[in-house]
Each structure stands twice: as structure tokens, then as C-alpha cells.
Structure 1
């Protein structure tokens, strides 16, 4: 499990070696340090892809839990998405007719989880991008994770049966990639390490 809120003894034996020259040669266990995701990456207001009073603004709440079902309280989430017109705020999107801009809808956000493993973005409802159903792209960083995890949160009630990425996921697990509609937007719960309902992640 991810040691959020560390207490008690460490899981593995601690070495008494203080000089690397005293260590024996051989294979060493995988290690992580940190988490350092908060250093240099925390930017005030990065959870706002649009201003809260912008026309059509909604809330997207994302959560993350570990294999015990405990919240990953030091997680960092990144969000990428198309605007309501299905166009990304990036010059790499061939559908874009004007240069990308930092004004208005940014299309990219970052937020740190609270003690409950949750973070909330203020954004717009994404439109369909090419042949893909409307969705949010989400990246997850946390201690114990060597590389960020990539997943998607699709909007309920959209053309999910024709989305080529979703169709690559086993049919019985596709519902795990559909967000829940709330009064002011959507909610998406990410489960890491779960034996029964782990969120599907994608290799990029």
C-alpha cells in the first residue's frame, strides 16, 4: 500500500550502513524518494481551467485511493481536455485555427489532493475530439508511483460505444472510466492497486 500518513514501524528492515563503500555488491530493491511532486509543481490557481464565474463553468472532483481503500492524501492530479468545441488549447491540435492562448479556457490544470485524497477542478464540459467521446484526461502522481499513471474520465450518457480508446478496455471494466454526474459537475474516483475495481490505466 502507499504509506500515506506514515505511523508505526517501517515495512522493510533498515540498514546500519552509512558509507556506500561498506555495502556489498548485488541487486538492490526498487526505491522511491519523496514525494517531491509538491516542490516546484504547486502553482496557485492551477486547478482553475476557467474562472469560477465563467459561462458554463463546472466542477470536476477527482479522488484517489490505494489498495486498502485509504485516501492517497499527497497525490497530485493533472487534467487535460478539449474545450466544448472539441478543440484543445494547444498548437499541436490540427483542428485549432488560432494560436493557443493563456487567456480564457486553458485546457490544462493541476491540483493537489486534500486529506481525503480529493481535489476539485473548475473547468468546462469537454466536447468530442475527432472520433472520441467527450472525456477528461487525468494524470496521477503520488509516492510509491515511479511514473505517472494515465487514465480517462468519460462523461455519462455520451457516445461511449464508438470511442476507440474505450473499446480497447475489456467490456466489464469500461464503467470504471465513466464519471458520475453531480449537482455542479462530475466526480471521478480513481482506485490504485485494487484487486476488484482498479481504475484502468493507459501506457503512453
Structure 2
């Protein structure tokens, strides 16, 4: 990921005769098949019994430039564990061998999504730097010829101030990458909305 990049979304067809999206999305039957009674290979709950890290919930909405929900989006996440280790990056023994750090979620009729995971640790960055805890996100939706890539950073994380990737983003745009933290009973919840265009459009990256 080297620089922030904006994408547009194709407008809907006002006649309602043909699909409003330029490409699909036709992924639901295979990639998010739970509504069709088929077992999912990857799900929105990626916490395993041996997962290292503090359990958290991430939730939010995928919306367009007018604030309307995108009801056919799909999100994929990829992250390190609480010790900053990516699955498969090195031989693992004992704790965390089952945690893969990859999840997939569709959205509901309100554009809402949620993941259950663990807060990742810091990972190495370019030129010997260290990156702040973050989660990589891929976004699929109507009108997108290619998926979009963004990141979720965490509110109140001191390492955000020195993260080399976040530093590439203009200061006035960085808030679109920061998930807001709150408590819900005993759960830690981070809210992260994804806006595909318009004012406060989420920052997307080349990948």
C-alpha cells in the first residue's frame, strides 16, 4: 500500500429493468452462502480457542455518497494476532495455531456488517519501521470493477502517531480510517463505517 486513492461508484439504473451494478455482485451463493443453507468456509467470527489477543467486535455500515446503505457489499479482513503474527508467516507451535486472521462478511438490508476477532498487535513496516495495530479490509460491491482496499486503525492507540502508512494520508482524512471504541457490557466494540464516495469518503489504498 503506497498511497491513498479514490474510487467512484456507478449510479443505479433508474428504470429498474436491468441490474444497477456493472459487475454482479454474484458472490453470495459461493462466498457468503449462509442464507442459502450452505456452510461457509470463512465467516465473520474468526476467534479461535487458542487465539492470542483481546477479543473485540468490529461493526459498521457500508454506505454510498448520499448516506444510503449498500445492501449487496461483501467485506474481507486479514490481520495479525495479538502478538503481531500473521498466519503462515513463520512456523507456529502451541498458542494461536488455529487462528488464521482471515474473515468474510456480507451486509444486511441496512448495509450493516460485524466481525468478531481479536485486537491485532504491531507488525513490521517499511524501512525498519513498526506499524500500529490495524486490520486490512477488502471491499466488494456493485459498480466496482476491482475490490477496494482500506485499513481499520483503533481509536486511542498511541502507535497511530508514528504509523508509516497512516502518515501517507493527509491529516484531515485520517479520521476515516479510525474505528471509534466503546464498551457494550463486557464487550469492546469498535465502530467503523465505510463510505464509498462523497464527503468523508473512506480512504482507500493501492495494493
TM-score interval (norm. to shorter): 0.7 to 0.9
Moved over 4 A (4+): 1-4, 51-55
The aligned counterpart of 1:199 is 202
**Following the alignment from structure 2 to structure 1, what is the Cα–Cα distance between the partners of residues 149 and 102?**
14
Per-residue CA deviation, residues 6-57 of structure 1 (Å, 9 max, x unaligned), is: 8x52499xxxxxxxxxxxxxxxxxx823211213212266111115997832
Using a 3 Å threshold, how does the CA distance of structure 1 residues 141 and 71 change in structure 2: closer, same or farther? same
Using a 3 Å threshold, how does the CA distance of structure 1 residues 108 and 45 change in structure 2: closer, same or farther? closer
Q: CA deviation at 1:2?
A: 5.9
Stretch moving more, 178-187 or 124-133:
178-187
Is it true that 1:47 corresponds to 2:47 in the alignment? no
The aligned counterpart of 2:36 is none
Which of the numbers 55, 61, 71 marks the counterpart of 2:69? 71
Which of the numbers 28, 47, 60 marks the counterpart of 1:38? 28
* SS of structure 2 residue aligned to 1:179: strand
Is the CA contact (8 Å cut-off) linking 2:77 and 2:104 kept in structure 1?
yes
Structure 2 unpaired stretches of 5+: 1-8, 33-39, 125-129
Q: CA deviation at 1:103?
A: 5.4
Q: CA deviation at 1:157?
A: 1.5
Is the CA contact (8 Å cut-off) linking 2:182 and 2:190 kept in structure 1?
yes
Is the CA contact (8 Å cut-off) linking 2:42 and 2:102 kept in structure 1?
no
The 5-angstrom pairing of residues 102-117 of structure 1 reads: 104-117=98-111
More strand by share: 2
The aligned counterpart of 2:134 is 135
Q: CA deviation at 1:132?
A: 0.3
More helix by share: 2
Using a 3 Å threshold, how does the CA distance of structure 1 residues 83 and 68 change in structure 2: closer, same or farther? same
Q: CA RMSD in A?
A: 2.8
**Following the alignment from structure 1 to structure 2, what is the Cα–Cα distance between the partners of residues 143 and 67?**
14
Structure 1 unpaired stretches of 5+: 13-30
Using the size of structure 1 for normalisation, the TM-score is: 0.77
The aligned counterpart of 1:188 is 192
Is it true that 1:161 corresponds to 2:161 in the alignment? yes
The aligned counterpart of 1:26 is none
- The count of residues paired between Structure 1 and Structure 2 equals 178
Which has the higher Rg, Structure 1 or Structure 2?
A: 1
* Structure with more relative contact order (C-alpha pairs < 8 Å, separation 6 or more): 2
